[in-house]
Structure 1
Amino acid sequence: MMPDRPASALDLPCALVVLGADGRVQFGWQNPETGAYYAEADGSCITDVIGIVEWHGRTIH
């Protein structure tokens, strides 16, 4: 069990689970300037995004 921490310690950026039209699911990120999504694994642009799910973690390692 994780000890309670102040709210500021939990303010981590969310990760994205990106759902593609081809059935693939991958971790990714969104470019704030263009709105395009990119794969965490290889940095390639994901052009067939049909949905995203934000994923929030309590800690990073």
Structure 2
Amino acid sequence: MKKSERFMRPLTSDIQLYTAQMDLTPIVVFIGAELVGSGVIEDITEMSFMRGVCTFKYAG
């Protein structure tokens, strides 16, 4: 899939999040409709993994 086809598509699985981390893919993070963060995923831990609260989307 081309980057332009991924733009603003949600990351819905663990493998998508880990792949985005390994590829240094820029993402954006929303809580509801509010943008709360952006950048690359540096680390994925139990404590930082807020998938129940946040929506992660491809930014690039």
TM bin (shorter chain) = 0.3 to 0.5
Q: TM-score, normalised by structure 2?
A: 0.35
User: RCO greater where, 1 or 2, for CA within 8 Å and sep 6 or more?
Assistant: 2
Larger radius of gyration: 1
**Higher fraction of helix:** 2
Q: Which has the higher strand share?
A: 1
